[in-house]
A and B are shown apart, each in its own frame.
Chain A
Amino acid sequence: MLISQLQHTGLEEKLASTSQDIWVLLPEITIVITIVLLIVFDLIFKKNKSIGLSVIAFVGLAYCFALTIQQWHEIEASKSLMSGLLDINRLSIFLKGGFIIGLSIALITAIRSDKRQEDFFKSSEILVMLFGLLLGASFMTMSSNLLMIYISIEVVSICSYILTGLTKGKKKAEAAIKYLIYGAVASAIMLYGMSWLYGFTGTLNLTDQSFASALNEIPQLPLSIACIMVMGGFLFKLGAFPLHIWSPDVYEATPTPIVAVFSVLPKLAALTIILKFVNLVNVPSIDWELWIGILAIASMTVGNFSALWQKDIKRMLAYSSIAHAGFLLVGILAFSSSGNQAMLFYGSIYLIMNFAAFFLVQTFERQTGSTSFESIKGLGIKIPFISSLILIVMISLTGLPPTAGFNSKLYIFSALWESYQTGGHSILIWVFVIGLLNTVIALFYYLKLPYLLFFKKPPQELQLDNKEITDGLLGTLFVLPLLLLFFRSDWLVGLMNSINFELWIP
Chain B
Amino acid sequence: MVHLLSYIVFIPLIAAVLVLLTPRAYKHLYRVLTILGLGLTLILIIFAISGFDTAVQGAINSESNLQLVEKTEWFSISLGSMGKFSVDYFVGTDGLNIGMLLLAGIVLLIGAIASWNIKDKQKAYFGLYLLLSSSILGCFVALDFFLFYLFFEFMLLPMYFLIGIWGGPRKEYAALKFFLYTLVGSILILIVMIGLYNSVYDPVKTAIEAGYEANQVEQVQQLVQDGTIKSNQIVKSFNMIHMADADNYIPGSFLHKSSLAQIFGQPARWIAFLALLIGFAIKLPAVPFHTWLPDAHVEAPTPISVVLAGILLKVGGYGLIRTAFVMFPDSAYHYSWLIGFFGMFAIIYGALNALAQKDLKKLIAYSSVSHMGFVLMGLAAMTVEGISGAIYQMYSHGLISAMLFLIAGVIYDRTHDRMIENYGGLASKMPKYTVFVAIAFFASLGLPGFSGFIAELMVLIGSFKSSAVPAWMPIVATTGLVLAAGYYLWTMQRMFFGKFWVKDKNWVESLTDLNPREYLMLVPLVILIFAFGLYPSLLLDLINNSVESLADHLFQFRK
Q: Is B79 within 8 A of A338, CB to CB?
A: yes
CA A395 to CA B153, docked complex, whole Å: 11
User: Known interface pairs A443-B183, A455-B165. Does A402 touch B77 (Cβ–Cβ under 8 Å)?
Assistant: no
Of A336, A400, A493, the residue contacting B153 (CB under 8 A) is A400
B44 interfacial contact with A, CB 8 Å = no
Q: How far is the CB of B79 from chain A (nearest CB, A)?
A: 5
| Complex interface residues of chain B between 158 and 175 (CB less than 8 A to chain A) | 160-161, 164-165, 171-172
Q: Is B176 within 8 A of A401, CB to CB?
A: no
| Complex interface residues of chain A between 384 and 422 (CB less than 8 A to chain B) | 395, 400-402, 406, 410, 413-414, 417-418, 421
Q: Is B191 within 8 A of A490, CB to CB?
A: no
Q: Is B179 within 8 A of A401, CB to CB?
A: no
Which one, A5-13, A104-112, A303-311, A431-439, is touching chain B? A431-439
Which residues of B are interface residues toward A (Cβ below 8 A)? 74-82, 149-150, 153-154, 156-157, 160-161, 164-165, 171-172, 176, 179-180, 183-184, 187, 190-191, 194-195, 197-199, 252-254, 261, 263-264
Q: Is A440 within 8 A of B184, CB to CB?
A: yes
Of A402, A418, A490, the residue contacting B154 (CB under 8 A) is A402
CA A414 to CA B194, docked complex, whole Å: 6
Closest to B181 in A: A440
Residues of B within 8 A of A489 (CB): 75, 77
Q: Is B77 within 8 A of A490, CB to CB?
A: yes
CA A429 to CA B75, docked complex, whole Å: 28
Q: Is A490 within 8 A of B76, CB to CB?
A: yes
Closest to A436 in B: B187
User: Known interface pairs A432-B191, A493-B77. Does A414 touch B198 (Cβ–Cβ under 8 Å)?
Assistant: yes
Closest to A398 in B: B183
Q: Is A414 within 8 A of B197, CB to CB?
A: yes
Q: Mark A454-469, 1 if CB is under 8 A from B, else 0.
A: 1100000000000000
CA A455 to CA B184, docked complex, whole Å: 23
CA A443 to CA B180, docked complex, whole Å: 8
Q: How far is the CB of B37 from chain A (nearest CB, A)?
A: 20
A497 interfacial contact with B, CB 8 Å = yes
A447 interfacial contact with B, CB 8 Å = yes
Q: Mark A325-349, 1 if CB is under 8 A from B, else 0.
A: 0000000000011100100000000
Q: How far is the CB of B73 from chain A (nearest CB, A)?
A: 10
Q: Is A433 within 8 A of B198, CB to CB?
A: no
Q: How far is the CB of A83 from chain B (nearest CB, A)?
A: 31
Residues of A within 8 A of B160 (CB): 447
Q: How far is the CB of A393 from chain B (nearest CB, A)?
A: 13
A63 interfacial contact with B, CB 8 Å = no
Name 25 interchain pairs, CB-CB below 8 A, sorted by A: A400-B153, A400-B156, A401-B149, A401-B154, A406-B153, A410-B194, A414-B197, A417-B194, A417-B195, A421-B199, A421-B254, A432-B191, A436-B190, A436-B191, A440-B180, A443-B179, A444-B180, A447-B160, A447-B179, A451-B172, A454-B165, A455-B165, A487-B75, A489-B77, A497-B80
User: Known interface pairs A417-B194, A417-B198. Does A439 touch B150 (Cβ–Cβ under 8 Å)?
Assistant: no
Residues of A within 8 A of B253 (CB): 421
Q: How far is the CB of B129 from chain A (nearest CB, A)?
A: 16
Closest to B82 in A: A338
Which residues of A are interface residues toward B (Cβ below 8 A)? 336-338, 341, 395, 400-402, 406, 410, 413-414, 417-418, 421, 429, 432-433, 436-437, 439-440, 443-444, 447, 451, 454-455, 487-490, 493-494, 497
Residues of B within 8 A of A447 (CB): 160, 176, 179
CA A58 to CA B349, docked complex, whole Å: 67
CA A433 to CA B184, docked complex, whole Å: 11
Of A429, A439, A444, A493, the residue contacting B187 (CB under 8 A) is A439
CA A421 to CA B184, docked complex, whole Å: 24
B interface secondary structure, majority:
helix
A-B contact sample (6 more), CB < 8 A, given A410-B190, A417-B198: A336-B82, A413-B194, A418-B198, A429-B263, A440-B187, A444-B180
CA A378 to CA B187, docked complex, whole Å: 30
CA A417 to CA B150, docked complex, whole Å: 21
Q: How far is the CB of A297 from chain B (nearest CB, A)?
A: 15
Residues of B within 8 A of A395 (CB): 157
Q: Is B198 within 8 A of A421, CB to CB?
A: yes
CA A401 to CA B151, docked complex, whole Å: 8
Q: Is A402 within 8 A of B150, CB to CB?
A: yes
CA A441 to CA B429, docked complex, whole Å: 50
Q: Is A338 within 8 A of B80, CB to CB?
A: yes
Residues of A within 8 A of B172 (CB): 451, 455
Of A451, A490, A497, the residue contacting B176 (CB under 8 A) is A451
Residues of A within 8 A of B264 (CB): 429
Top 10 closest A-B pairs, CB basis? Answer: A490-B75, A401-B150, A493-B77, A401-B153, A338-B79, A436-B187, A440-B183, A414-B194, A421-B254, A490-B77
Q: Is A337 within 8 A of B80, CB to CB?
A: yes
CA A338 to CA B83, docked complex, whole Å: 11
CA A436 to CA B185, docked complex, whole Å: 11
CA A242 to CA B252, docked complex, whole Å: 37
Residues of B within 8 A of A336 (CB): 82
Residues of B within 8 A of A497 (CB): 78, 80
Residues of A within 8 A of B76 (CB): 490
Q: How far is the CB of A401 from chain B (nearest CB, A)?
A: 5
Residues of A within 8 A of B82 (CB): 336, 338, 418
CA A338 to CA B194, docked complex, whole Å: 14
CA A489 to CA B76, docked complex, whole Å: 9
Residues of A within 8 A of B81 (CB): 337
Residues of B within 8 A of A432 (CB): 191
Residues of A within 8 A of B75 (CB): 487-490
CA A451 to CA B177, docked complex, whole Å: 13
- Specify which of B81, B160, B183 lies most central, judged by the most chain A CB atoms within 10 Å of its CB: B183
Q: How far is the CB of A146 from chain B (nearest CB, A)?
A: 30
CA A433 to CA B252, docked complex, whole Å: 21
Residues of A within 8 A of B183 (CB): 400, 439-440, 443
Q: How far is the CB of A417 from chain B (nearest CB, A)?
A: 5
CA A429 to CA B172, docked complex, whole Å: 35
Residues of A within 8 A of B252 (CB): 421
Q: How far is the CB of B16 from chain A (nearest CB, A)?
A: 13
CA A101 to CA B187, docked complex, whole Å: 33
CA A246 to CA B253, docked complex, whole Å: 43
Closest to B156 in A: A400
Q: How far is the CB of A482 from chain B (nearest CB, A)?
A: 15
Q: Is A433 within 8 A of B77, CB to CB?
A: no
Residues of A within 8 A of B199 (CB): 421
Residues of B within 8 A of A488 (CB): 75
CA A432 to CA B275, docked complex, whole Å: 14
Residues of A within 8 A of B156 (CB): 400
CA A487 to CA B146, docked complex, whole Å: 11
CA A494 to CA B78, docked complex, whole Å: 8
- Specify which of B171, B195, B199 lies most central, judged by the most chain A CB atoms within 10 Å of its CB: B195
CA A121 to CA B139, docked complex, whole Å: 51
Residues of A within 8 A of B149 (CB): 401
Q: How far is the CB of A338 from chain B (nearest CB, A)?
A: 5
Q: How far is the CB of B162 from chain A (nearest CB, A)?
A: 11
Closest to B147 in A: A401
CA A417 to CA B198, docked complex, whole Å: 8
Closest to B236 in A: A414
CA A401 to CA B74, docked complex, whole Å: 15
CA A493 to CA B184, docked complex, whole Å: 29
CA A175 to CA B179, docked complex, whole Å: 37
Residues of A within 8 A of B197 (CB): 414
Q: How far is the CB of B147 from chain A (nearest CB, A)?
A: 10
Q: How far is the CB of B166 from chain A (nearest CB, A)?
A: 11
Closest to A391 in B: B157
Residues of B within 8 A of A490 (CB): 75-77
Residues of A within 8 A of B80 (CB): 337-338, 341, 497
CA A405 to CA B150, docked complex, whole Å: 13
Residues of A within 8 A of B77 (CB): 489-490, 493-494
CA A338 to CA B149, docked complex, whole Å: 23
Closest to A437 in B: B187
CA A444 to CA B187, docked complex, whole Å: 14
Q: How far is the CB of A262 from chain B (nearest CB, A)?
A: 30
